[in-house]
Amino acid sequence: MKKILVAAAAASLLLSAGSALAKSKSYVISLGDPFCVVANVTVTGQQLAANENDACQTFIGGGFVGSVKRVGRKAIIGGISSAIPGAEIVISLDYPFVTGGNYTVYGTSDGKSLNAVGSGTYTVE
**Contact present, 107 and 84 (Cβ < 8 Å):** yes
Q: How many domains does the chain have?
A: 1
Residue 110 lies in a domain: yes
Residue 6 lies in a domain: no
Average the pLDDT over 65-92 and give the result: 93
Residue 106 lies in a domain: yes
Residue 3 lies in a domain: no
Residue 42 lies in a domain: yes
The string of pLDDT tens digits covering residues 17-51 is 555 567 999 999 999 777 888 999 999 999 999 99
- Residue 55: is its pLDDT beyond 70? yes
pTM: 0.79
Q: What is the CA radius of gyration of the chain?
A: 17
> What pLDDT shows up at residue 20?
56
Residue 63 lies in a domain: yes
The DSSP code sequence of 45-112 is TTEEEEEEESSS-EEEEEEEEEEETTTEEEEEEEEEETTSTT-EEEEEEESS--TT-EEEEEEESSSS
Residue 11 lies in a domain: no
For the chain, give the percent of residues with pLDDT over 70: 83
Domain containing 107 equals: 23-124
Residue 109 lies in a domain: yes
Average the pLDDT over 12-16 and give the result: 49
Report the chain's mean pLDDT, rounded to a whole number.
86
